[in-house]
Structures are given as C-alpha cells and as structure tokens.
Structure 1
C-alpha cells in the first residue's frame, strides 16, 4: 500500500509539473521568456499543447510587430501633412516578424497533427495565415536594408525566411488569386545569388530551384543555375552529377538553346559520343535550321580533328546566322587542314578562305569579346604575305 501511495504521489507531482510547464509558457509576458519556457518543456507536451505554445510565441511577437507597424502607418499620414515622423524600431519590427513567421509555421505543423483523441482539428491555422500573409513582404524590405549595409548574411536570412514561409504548409491552402505572391521567384533568385557569393552552394542551388519555377524569374535563374553548375564541375564526378541536372532541365525545356548547348557539350566532354550525337540529331530533326545545333555539331567534329566534317557543319551554321566565333572555328579548321597538305598552292587556297572568314569575324567582333580571331588572322597573314606586310603588322601580337 505504501509503495502504491508513493507511485500515486509521483504521478500527481509529474502531472503538476507538466501543467505548470505549459502554464508558464502561456503566462509569459514577452517572447524571450516564452521561448525559454517552451524549450525547457517541449518534449513533454502533446501535439495540441505544442500548437498552443507556439501560437503564444506568435501572439507575443505580433505585439511588437503591431506596435511598430502602427507607427509606420501613422508616420505615412504625418508625412503627408508635413509633420515630423515618430521613431520606429525597424530592426525590432523585422526580427519580431521573422519570429512570428517561424513560430506560426511550427504552430501549424502541430496544429495539423492528431490531438489526444486522435482527431485533427486546427485551431490557429486560418488566423495566423490571415495575419501574416500580407506582412511577409516586409521581409524583402528587411533584406534590402541589410544589403545597403553590406550585410549579405543578414539579407540572406530575411530572404530565406520569406521564401521558406511562402512555400510552407501555413499558406498552402490559401486562395492566392486575391493576394498573389508576385515576389517569391525574384526573392528566391536574389537569395541564390547572395548564397553563391557567400560560397554556400547548397543554399544557392536550393533557392535557384525555387526561382526556376517562376515564369518571370526563370531566364535569369536558369543562367545562374548553369553558371553555378559549370563552377562546380572540377572533377569527372562533378560533371557526371551536373549532367543529370542538365538532362532534367532539357527535358522540361527542349527549345532552350543554352541548355541544349551545355548538355551536348558536356556529353562530348565526358566522352559520351553516342548520347551527344543523339541529342544533336534530335535537335536538328525538330529544327533543321537550328544554328546552335550545327555549331555544336561542328565543334564536336573539330575536337575530333575531323576538319572536313566540321567545316561543312560550320558553313551550315553561318548560312543561318553569321557568327564571329563559328567563323574563327572555321579558320582554325582550315589552317589545320592546310597544315596537312604537301602542295603549297593548295595550302594557299585554304588560307585565302581562312583569311575571308577571319576578316569577317574581325568585322563582327572587333573587340574579340566573342572569339580570339586575332592570333589566327596574324598567322594567316604571315604565311600569305610575310611579316613585313601592313596587314600582318596590323594584327601583330
């Protein structure tokens, strides 16, 4: 009997301690106190209790948010009347808003879990959703403020909070036709750029993938994604890993010339000749006048020292669109073909053709931003006209 009595007392004590723990969270008067109390008793709480506790964090954070937001609105009216604005704790506003969003997402997670009776009956979902959706864009302002102070890490944290919350379950069932999130893709792209600059490639790729899903941000996000992948291809293993991503991108955007060029070139770099040929042929079958397909095909032949085949492909590309780079490649192939000839007259015929293409490349790209035609043109002039000819001297290194 005594043993049973002691066990009963312990059970009562445990229940009393548990009740006191959750009560201490709900009685807290500020966010820091409530968070501390919650952290100390979180593991002992039920799903329903956890939702209630995290909602308390939301309410306490929103007290600061609402206070500063009221002053911001009031200052807008004062400014219109030409009166002096009241001080605003913007850092406190941004921090509290971030805390509210994070707490609301945790609250929502437990709010949608079964309660003690096994039922799912969210109590805070709609309220927190309606309260926080329209305030989220303030995190963009927070990020911009950080960038003006050269605080990239702070900016990334705020932009990340914006993107993460936008994709959370808290807002998943919300009718966004009335209040669409028009900034998500661009904020994700900027967050990706910042993470890339900070050499955090995992985060950069994560947010770039979010931006790729947005029509308005797709083009810039795609260029960023490809640039990041090219930087990551330091070993064969890196290239094989990136190849899968290029294949996925191309499967979703067959008409994109940049993706095609990178994919076909990567196949070639990895020695996957059959896959490269298939990729190119499929592209040409869909569009026989595809400039990039003929250019990539010619480049593959050039890399294999198949000069005649490469020249034929490059000529087809040039017929579609004049290009300083392709014309420079033409010159390179001609010069290599000429070097293998024993007949001097035949060599000069080819070099004369090289001269024509390289001079056109010079005309199209005088600053050599697209192709390094100058070195080839100098060698061509040198062989045809000698070192003292004015044309040779004009492009001398």
Structure 2
C-alpha cells in the first residue's frame, strides 16, 4: 500500500512539473503578443519547479521588455500616444524579473550546478539602457501624488549601483545622478511616512552638493517624529544641515529652537555669529536677535532688530514686534507682581507707573508692525489690545471691533 501511495505522489509531482513546463512553452508560443504571453507565464513565476530556472525569469523579463519597447516607440512616432502607465509598469517588472533571473542564476553558480553565469552581462546592459526612464516614471508618479509608485521607481534607480547585476557596468556604478535621485526617493518616502525608506535613501541623497538639504530635512523629520524618536541623531542631522547648507533657514531655525529649549543660549549665539560671518541674511539676524532677547539682553536685541529695520528687506515687521516685546514682557513681570500686592501698598502705585512707561515704550513698535503686516495679527494683535486697555480705552474699543472680538 505504501508503495502505491508513493508512486501516486511521484505521478502527481510529475504532472505538476509537466503542467508548469507547459505553461512556459505556451508563453513562448504567444510571444508575438507580449501582453498575453506575460499573463500566461505568471503561474510559472511562483511554482518552484519553474521559478528556480533563470530562463523562466528571463523569458518573463523579455515579455515585459517587448511591452516596454512597443509603448516607448510610440513616444517617438509622429502623433504617437504611449500608454505611460503601461510603459512604466513594464519597466518596473523588467527590472524585477531580470534581477530575479540574475539572482537565481548566481545561486546555481554558487551551488556548482552552473560553471559560470551566462545571462548577467546581457541583462545588465539591457537594464542600464532603460534605467534613465525610471526618473521620468518617478517624476510623473510624484507629480500625480502617487508617492508609492514614485518611491518604487526612484528606488529602483538609486538601488542599481549597489546591485551585483551591474558590477561591470561603470556607467551605472559611477552615475553622478544617483545622489540627486535619492533626494526624490527620500521625499516620496517622507510623504508616505516610511521612515526606513527615508533613512535608506536620504543617507545617499544628503551627499548631493545642491539638493542634499532635502534629504537632511527628511532625515530630521524621520529621527524627530517617528515612532521611536532619536534626539541625538536628530541633532546631528540638523547640525550637519547647518554646516553643509548654511543658507537653508530650516536647519538654523530648528537648531536655535533646540538651544532655547535646552537653555543653551550662549552656545546658540556663538553658532549664529559663525553663521552670520559667512552669510548675513535678515532671517539669520532675526534669529540672533531672538536669542539675545531670550537671554534678556534687550539692548543687544534691539540693536540687532534695528539693523534689520535699517536694511529694509525681510523680517522688518517681525523686528518691530520683537522690539516691542523687549518692553512689553518685562512689563508683564511687573503686572504679575502687582497681582499679588494690595492696591494700598505704595509699591503698587510705583509698579503701575513702570508698567505704563514700558507700555508707552512698546506701543509705537507694535503699531509699526501692524502697519508693515496688517494681516499678521500674531505680531501685534493681543499686545496692542493689552496696551490700549491700559492707555487708551477708545483705541482699545476700536481695535477690539477690528479684530472681531
């Protein structure tokens, strides 16, 4: 009985192998219609009896190449209209199947089943030729908001130099565009909140001299906001951004926020002075002024903000507002102190006089901020209301109505 069952098992196995080999033969016979042939061969790609044969994967890749070539030709024919979705899909599958073909063949070489690979050189040259099209595929997907496909196409492009399949393809291994495209892969991954992919591609993309700041921004987001934030790596990334891309405000702003939150104002000021020595911009001057303000060096802060105002470029309204802060917030400390005193206390009246004096000092600067940026109420709205309440009830009522309270 056992012999009968064993023979039956062999029979069914032989049938299965024969069936998959038949599928491959049927696909070959349909190669004049590559779309149909590609569908026919799909079962053979998952069945062990045929999936372990590099020729199966090469054949599947050949069908995808035929589909790609047919659609790509339409791009160059007068009046031709290519199905770009079909074009790009076949391109990705061509990469997938030819790469798998190489992996299977190399495994057979390692096991001794084959003496040497026969297909790698041809596959590599074919893929190297069509590889630039991956950037168009990725760009189209990204612009359409399909970040998953954008990541797939950009990723295939960036991964190629590390793929053993291209070991002898110098044009791929030494491609200077790879770091640039890695930036776009990182951006797509960032949109998908795929932190692992962000780190993978941004680590390559950050080395691009012009666009590398994009990857560093994505890395900072990944390290700072992921499921397991890494503050040390976040800080290292931000500092790298400041060093490599000193004109990018993102890195300076985040670094200064860090120094303020950690109470490392002097360290932040030293950093800003070094940055300003290389590249003095209104924004960087403003950041320095804010740090001076946080240090309660109001005289130094006002001097810095006045320099911004004198230049008359960007951050003028913000500079006016911060000069107002240099008087308004010290006044708030006295307001807090007075809230704990009896109105009969002599110090109360003295404090009230100081509050009024400081409010009068701050007032014109908030008004100038309002004049410069009337729509940015955050710079002047609540401050002017507080001051007018103390100094001019009529203006208070008018402003309250203007703000819609």
- Same fold judged by TM-score > 0.5? yes
Structure 1 residue 257: Cα displacement: 4.1
Write the distance in 2 (CA, Å) between the matches of 1:64 and 1:275.
62
Write the distance in 1 (CA, Å) between the matches of 2:291 and 2:82.
66
The yes-or-no answer on 1:249 pairing with 2:241 is yes
Indicate if the aligned counterparts of 2:58 and 2:98 stay in contact, CA closer than 8 A: no
**Gaps (5+ residues) in structure 2?**
1-16, 26-40, 335-349
Which residue of structure 2 lines up, in the alignment, with residue 362 of structure 1?
370
The CA RMSD over aligned residues, in Å, is 4.6
Which residue of structure 2 lines up, in the alignment, with residue 201 of structure 1?
195
Write the distance in 2 (CA, Å) between the matches of 1:93 and 1:151.
17
Question: For 2:44, which of 28, 33, 54 is the aligned residue?
Answer: 33
Which residue of structure 1 lines up, in the alignment, with residue 259 of structure 2?
267
Write the distance in 1 (CA, Å) between the matches of 2:224 and 2:142.
27
Write the distance in 1 (CA, Å) between the matches of 2:57 and 2:139.
24
Which residue of structure 2 lines up, in the alignment, with residue 214 of structure 1?
208
The within-5 A match list for 1:229-308 is: 231-232=225-226, 238-273=230-265, 275-284=267-276, 286-287=277-278, 289=280, 291-308=282-299
Higher relative contact order (CA 8 A, sep 6+): 1
Change (3 A) 1:304 1:72: same
The secondary structure found in structure 1 opposite 2:208 is coil
The alignment's TM-score, normalised by the length of structure 2, stands at 0.65
The yes-or-no answer on 1:69 pairing with 2:68 is yes
Change (3 A) 1:39 1:275: farther
Which residue of structure 2 lines up, in the alignment, with residue 373 of structure 1?
380
Structure 1 residue 69: Cα displacement: 3.1
Change (3 A) 1:330 1:76: closer
Indicate if the aligned counterparts of 1:189 and 1:211 stay in contact, CA closer than 8 A: yes
Write the distance in 2 (CA, Å) between the matches of 1:239 and 1:310.
29
Aligned residues: 350
The yes-or-no answer on 1:97 pairing with 2:104 is no
The alignment's TM-score, normalised by the length of structure 1, stands at 0.66
Structure 1 residue 386: Cα displacement: 1.8
Question: For 1:386, which of 393, 398, 401 is the aligned residue?
Answer: 393
Structure 1 residue 253: Cα displacement: 3.4
Indicate if the aligned counterparts of 1:64 and 1:92 stay in contact, CA closer than 8 A: no
The secondary structure found in structure 2 opposite 1:134 is helix
Structure 1 residue 189: Cα displacement: 3.7
Change (3 A) 1:274 1:328: closer
Write the distance in 1 (CA, Å) between the matches of 2:143 and 2:243.
39
Indicate if the aligned counterparts of 1:294 and 1:317 stay in contact, CA closer than 8 A: yes
Which residue of structure 1 lines up, in the alignment, with residue 35 of structure 2?
none
Structure 1 residue 133: Cα displacement: 1.5
**Gaps (5+ residues) in structure 1?**
1-20, 42-52
The yes-or-no answer on 1:333 pairing with 2:326 is yes
